[in-house]
Amino acid sequence: MNCSTCWHSPGCVPVASRNSLSRRKTHKCYASFNQKDAWQSAPLLDAVLERGNRLQDKPFHVPGHKRGRALDPGMCQLLGLQPGSGSSSSQQQRNPLQYDLTELAGLDYLSSPIGVIAAAQQAGAATFGSDHTWLLVNGCSAGIHAAVMATVRPGQALLLARNCHLSAFAACVLAGCRPVWLQPEEDALHGVAHCVTPQQLEAGFRDAQQQGLEVAAVLVVSPTYYGAVARVPELAALCHERGVPLLVDEAHGGHLAFLQQHREELRQQEEELRRREEELEQQWKDLEQHGEEYGQQHEKLEQQQEELRQQEEELWRQQVDSQMYQRSLQQQLKVLQQQQKELTQQQEHLARQQEELLQQQEEGWQQQKGLQQQQKGLQQQQKGLQQQLEGLQQQQEGLQQQIDDLRGQWNGVEQQQQDLQQEQEDLQQEQDGVANQTDYLILQQETLQEQQADLHSRQQVAAGQPAAGQPCSSSSSLSALAAGADLVAQSSHKVLSAMTQAAMLHSQGSRVDPARVSKALQVLQTSSPSYLLLASLDAARRHAATPGTWDTPLAVATAARAGLAAIPGLLLLQGGSCGSEASVGGWDPLRLVVNVAGLGLSGFDAAQWLEEQHSIVPELATAQLVVLVVGPGSVMGDAEALLHGFDQLSKLHHAPHSAAAASAQQPDAGVAAGSIQNSTAAIHSSSKSKINMSLPVKQTADDEDQPISQQQQQQQQQQHDAHPGPSPMSPRDAFFAPTQTIPLAAAAGRISAELLCPYPPGVPLVFPGELLTQHVLAQLTATLAAGGVVTGAANATLQTLLVVAEQQQQQQPGGQQHS
Ligand SMILES: Cc1ncc(COP(=O)(O)O)c(C=O)c1O
């Protein structure tokens, strides 16, 4: 039973003999490795840190700088150290070369790992979801070499896309296999090749069969340099039907698995937002219910208020009536008082008369009697008046009582009014509270909607769909491993945060024998791997898997893409503008590919200007495109600077309705006319490894059934000339064959010993071992005449070409002269 860590070493017994005793002692079996939390561990990084921190060590081992002690001043400057600080006396200052270690005890062996390297590889497998992961120190190139060597034996066929990376061709040389080329889909609009369609793969299988070749593996690129992700699930299904493993060059796609994870995080965020939305809805409902209750109360209060107003009016009316009545009573009283007064005066007058009469009494009692009678009458009148007066006074008291009652009622009404006022104020306060709550809920809803929109666009981006314009297509699994590939090589240094050269190879399933992969890597990789590179792989994996790592890069890419789409004269490759898409299953959200043909510039010129004027350093330029890579280290400021730079470029060069702008829609014309002022600078300094595609379109078997026009026949003849069937010599034979330098004019019919790649379009036109036809030579010279360049040739002017020596050529089965 194999240990799950060192699968090739039953019982954890090390296979290598060197230093085996100490290895056995230091080997920890990671069989109990916790898969779920594996991504959080960085066993190799930890071990390198621990070993490098042992400052008491007296290093009698390689490397010779002895943990950074012996350094040239220039190297000190490069590492940010004081000159001389590497010496043992000043160990306080941390020196990165402290960790530039060799295979010391506890640090394992890359070629046959059983300790921390095995653990780091296992953590890699758990993080990426593979069955086995290998750490590479010679780039993804080594991964591709090993993948082919582990799956294809000499003489067997490897189906591979014509736009593969140089390392795939080198792998054919190493494995001694026969390449059967798959024609990638051409995007004429942007002058690039995308991926291989399932139909093209099927055609490749048929081609191999016709040539009597046994297909041992298929190798495709996904994503391409331009961010196009292949339809890996369909390609894998076609391979697996035939029992053939699918190898994927995912040099540019090490991050895609994490974007899938990011999508899962976004899905969780979406759920959280949905939950908050439901909460808000509930709050709205509660508020509406409260609102109804408040409304009913409000109506009731208004009714009460109306009734009170009516009562008030009625009282007021009564008060006015009673006041008028009181006033008339007062007048009557006055009249009566006046009458009383007059009566009193009359009484006085009578009394005086009585007195006079009394005086006159004596004059006659007759008169007295009469007068007494008069007096009696008057007294009766006075009594009557007195009674009337008393009655009036009673009436007045009654009235006063009424007025007091009314006043009491009035006060009561006033009190009720005050109470109502108070209730109204309370209600108003509650209404204000409801309004505040409504505002708050609206604000929350708006925030929620914004968050939902933001989430949606992030989800679109994370799904590999361009934010601006219509997506070409989408895919749920951009990562090749998740999509079913058998062997996947990744340049972790390109798209994760690993150091340059650090890469990984992953395998899954039973179609690939992991022991063959390890054996190939033992041949291909150095026996002194850099522990800095290895530790950086462990760290980059953990960093990539850490939640939140991809938020900023995705935001940067989204903002940049949206901004670029709005700049006149620019066309985004992923902005729904791709010229073809049958081979594309999705797009890398972190790749920005800008077509500048609409500005009347070549991609080379634009890239050079951006760097010189705005310090924006693109990854790659082609005749029409500028390719920009967003990675875990990208920040928003980069996107802002990029947009500013492109905006300035557009202002300088964009002339609406100009011929240049029109040529953006007709890229072939644009490319031919495009001025490549500095073609050497135009191709990125590291472009040796960036030779990508050539696009001689090949006739497929399906096409053969279609009726064709004369023009089409002509085109097909040209294509046939460009690819006159199987190569006369295998890449390996061509690589080892004696060569000869001859003038281009004399090269027709000879076998090329060099790889010739014209820019544009940047796809190898001829691989070593392939025939140089008249048509091929004409295409090469036409490229130079149009201002383009041909890379790969020993003589860049193409006045001479390197070909397989004549004698050697005639020994080949197809080695007759061609013209
Ligand atoms: C598509 C593709 N595959 C493979 C490689 C090789 O990767 P590395 O440089 O890590 O060896 C590259 C490098 O540019 C590439 O673009």
Angle, vertex CA 272, rays to CA 266 and CA 273, nearest 5: 90
**Phi, psi (deg, nearest 5) at residue 135:** -90, 135
> What Cα–Cα distance (Å) separates residue 147 from each residue in 37, 141, 142, 423, 504?
28, 10, 8, 84, 11
Rounded distance between C-alpha atoms, residue 180 and residue 183, angstroms: 10
pLDDT for position 463: 61
Rounded distance between C-alpha atoms, residue 595 and residue 667, angstroms: 10
Ligand 1: does its nearest atom lie under 6 Å from the Cβ of 163? no
pLDDT interval class at 548 (50, 70, 90): very high
What is the average pLDDT value for the chain, to the nearest integer? 82
Does pLDDT of 638 surpass 60?
yes
Please choose from 162, 167, 763 the residue to mutate so as to test ligand 1's pocket, defined by most ligand atoms within 8 A of CB.
Answer: 167
Q: Six-digit token pair at 546?
A: 């850490």
Asked if the domains at 138-254+479-524 and 551-690 fall in one CATH topology, the answer is no
Ligand 1: does its nearest atom lie under 6 Å from the Cβ of 139? yes
Say if strands 178-182 and 157-161 run parallel, antiparallel, or are unpaired: parallel
Q: Six-digit token pair at 786?
A: 């149009």
Rounded distance between C-alpha atoms, residue 502 and residue 689, angstroms: 16
77-81, 154-158, 330-334: segment of lowest average pLDDT = 330-334
Ligand 1: does its nearest atom lie under 6 Å from the Cβ of 225? yes
pLDDT interval class at 600 (50, 70, 90): very high
Rounded distance between C-alpha atoms, residue 616 and residue 611, angstroms: 5
Give the fold, CATH level 3, of 701-811: Ornithine Decarboxylase; Chain A, domain 4 (3.90.100)
Residues 178-223: tens digit of each pLDDT: 999 998 998 888 888 899 999 999 999 999 999 999 999 999 999 9
398 against 148, higher pLDDT: 148
Ligand 1: does its nearest atom lie under 6 Å from the Cβ of 221? yes
The conformation of residue 166, written as its DSSP 8-state character, comes to H
Look at the chain and count its residues: 819
Q: 58-67, 295-304, 390-399: which has the highest mean pLDDT?
A: 58-67
Please choose from 224, 588, 689 the residue to mutate so as to test ligand 1's pocket, defined by most ligand atoms within 8 A of CB.
Answer: 689
DSSP assignment of 670-698, as one string? HHHH---TTHHHHS-TTGGGG-----PPP
Span from the CA of 789 to the centroid of ligand 1 (angstroms): 21
Ligand 1: does its nearest atom lie under 6 Å from the Cβ of 762? no
25-39, 147-161, 280-294, 469-483: segment of lowest average pLDDT = 25-39
Residues 6+ apart with CB under 8 A from 594: 564, 570, 571, 572, 573, 606, 625, 626, 627, 628, 646
Does pLDDT of 274 surpass 80?
yes
Q: Which CATH architecture has domain 138-254+479-524?
A: 3-Layer(aba) Sandwich (3.40)
Domain locations in the chain as residue ranges: 138-254+479-524, 258-449, 551-690, 701-811
Rounded distance between C-alpha atoms, residue 247 and residue 232, angstroms: 10
pLDDT interval class at 764 (50, 70, 90): confident
258-272, 325-339, 737-751, 784-798: segment of lowest average pLDDT = 258-272
Span from the CA of 781 to the centroid of ligand 1 (angstroms): 28
Q: Which CATH architecture has domain 551-690?
A: Alpha-Beta Complex (3.90)
**Phi, psi (deg, nearest 5) at residue 19:** 55, 30
> What Cα–Cα distance (Å) separates residue 250 from each residue in 323, 557, 580, 626?
104, 20, 21, 21
Does pLDDT of 515 surpass 50?
yes
Say if strands 246-249 and 487-490 run parallel, antiparallel, or are unpaired: parallel
pLDDT interval class at 330 (50, 70, 90): confident
Asked whether the CA dihedral 179, 182, 184, 188 is positive or negative, the reply is: positive
pLDDT for position 294: 78
